[in-house]
Every structure is written in structure tokens, then in C-alpha cells.
Amino acid sequence: MIDIRNLTVAFGGTRVLRGIDLTVQARESIGLIGGSGSGKSITWLAAMGLLPATAEVGGSVLLRGSEILHAPRPRLERLRGGTVGIVFQDAAAALNPVRSVGWQIAEVLRLHRGMVGQSAQDEAKRLLDQVGIPQARQRLGAYPFELSGGQNQRVMIAMALAARPAILIADEPTTGLDVTIQAQILDLLRTLRQEMGMALVMISHDLGVVADICERTYVMHAGAIVEEISVRDLHTSPKHSYTKRLVAAAPPWTSIGPLADHAALPGQGSVRAPIENLA
């Protein structure tokens, strides 16, 4: 689906990405984990051609076999088109404050699927239903400021899904939300991936989140990938010292923490356990 080779990024001669190699297969769920400033977001922004022109970008990014790095914008938009959906961390900042959520979803439907009028409204309502917004028909007219943080995050996911992407990139989609809402959003992403057969890239500084939802993960440190590891092997065979430190620091109740049920399979949602226990 995506094949990134030797991706480099520099700003004003200062290197922030040092030769990233990364692949995503159809339908798989991968993590990109690392500390603040390690280069997780820059990797995807560069790969998708979303960095400002001041960024010096090198390497190769194949999307379904076609080179998209440095592709002219119309070609890039055509290639990227409905293939890749992106969910950012801060929904409140990413959504347009002066347009209703129904309008914003309908706009994606118009651009990517040529839908207009009542059929776009009906599809927007169906998408809000799908991401778990109650009273979806009435909510089409709501503005982002009228919704909670978790609901805005769901709207962003609905917008990403509206283009029917084959791959969904979620950049810290639960940061800033309280733990209960975080667990609900992770559940939603897990369910949607299964229902829609999408690949999922989960970018997070939280190893528990990645271990909960992904099958394998890349570990980033200081602008480089230091390890690629299956989530199953995180307990037993992390090789790089940075990965070992991440595993050691994982909260005890997560899929990878010391109290984890080691028989649990990745993606089965053990991060939910403490929330259920607290309820």
C-alpha cells in the first residue's frame, strides 16, 4: 500500500528525519511510536506531501506503486485522493469553525465521491451514525463549538472515512481526551478498520495505545527508526535500548505493562481494562 524508502527531511539545513524506511500493507494496522520531537508527524506529513515548501525532502514514497514524493500537486491529489484518510490530534483546530459538521462532511463527499444534494446529506448522516454520534440527522447542522472534544474527534474520523480511504493515518487521535473517551475512540477505530478493511497507521507517544490496536510497530528516536517489532514480541524481545525503556515505562494495566495478560492478543483492547474496573 505504502512503501517509504530513505525518507529524509531538513529545515534550513538541519536534518529532522534521517532516512526512514517503512511499509504498510493492505489491511494491516501499524504503529509509529516515539517521544516528542522524534519525527513521527513529520514522517507522514512529508510522505503525504503536506509539509511547507521550506522543507527539504528526499527519498521515495510509493503509494500503491506510484511515486508521490515531489509529484505535482494535481497528480498528488489524484493519487492520494480517496486512498489516504488522515485524522489529526486537535479536531477543534482542524475543523472549520464557521461551517456545520454536515457541510464539512458533505464537502468531502462532493470532492471525493461526486455526491451532492440529498444523497450527500444522507451519506453524511450515515457516517455520523457510523462513528457513534447520537441523533445524527439533527447533528448535521451543529458547529464544532457545539460539540464535545470526543464528538469533534468522531466528526474528523467521519470526514476521513467519507472518502472511503484504503488507509487511515491517525496522528495522536486521542491525545487531550479523557481516558474513557480515549478508549471509546480506540474502540471505534478498531471496529471501523475491521468493518471497512482499511489499513491503519497509529501515530502515538503512548506504547499502550499502539500495543492495544496495532499488529506491529516502528519505534522512532531522534529522527530515525530504531526498531520495527511485532506487538506480540514487545514483552520478550525488544532489541533497541530505547524500545526497552518504552516497554519498562508502560503503565502496568496496558497490553504491554507488567500486569498485562500476556495471553491477550494485540488489538483486543486490554487498555480498556482499568476503565471498566473503575466504572
Ligand X SMILES: Nc1ncnc2c1ncn2[C@@H]1O[C@H](COP(=O)(O)OP(=O)(O)OP(=O)(O)O)[C@@H](O)[C@H]1O
Q: What is the smallest separation between the CB atom of 80 and ligand X, expressed in angstroms?
A: 19
Between CA 156 and CA 231 the distance in angstroms is 27
CB of 36 to ligand X, least distance (A): 3
Q: Rank residues 51 and 264 by Cβ distance to ligand X and give the closer one.
A: 51
Residue type, 105: I
Q: 277: number of CA atoms within 13 Å, CB side? A: 7
What is the spatial distance between Cα 116 and Cα 114, in angstroms, rounded to a whole number? 7
Residue type, 193: R
The least distance separating ligand X from the CB of residue 255, rounded to whole angstroms, comes to 20
Grid cell for residue 99: 461551517
Query: Of 128 and 211, which CB lies nearer to ligand X in the complex structure?
Result: 211
Are 139 and 155 spatial neighbours (Cβ–Cβ below 8 Å)?
no
Identity of the residue, 41 or 254, whose beta carbon is nearer to ligand X in the bound complex: 41
CB of 99 to ligand X, least distance (A): 26
Secondary structure (H, E, C), 112-170: HHCCCHHHHHHHHHHHHHHCCCCCHHHHCCCCHHHCCHHHHHHHHHHHHHHCCCCEEEE
**CB 205 to ligand X: min, Å:** 5
Least CB distance from residue 18 to ligand X, whole Å?
Answer: 11
CB closer to ligand X out of 32 and 199: 32
Using the minimum distance from each CB to ligand X, give the nearer residue, 11 or 145.
11
Nearer to ligand X, 55 or 264 (CB): 55
Which positions lie near ligand X, rule CB under 6 A? 11, 16, 34, 36-42, 52, 205
How far apart CA 27 and CA 48 sit, in angstroms, is 19
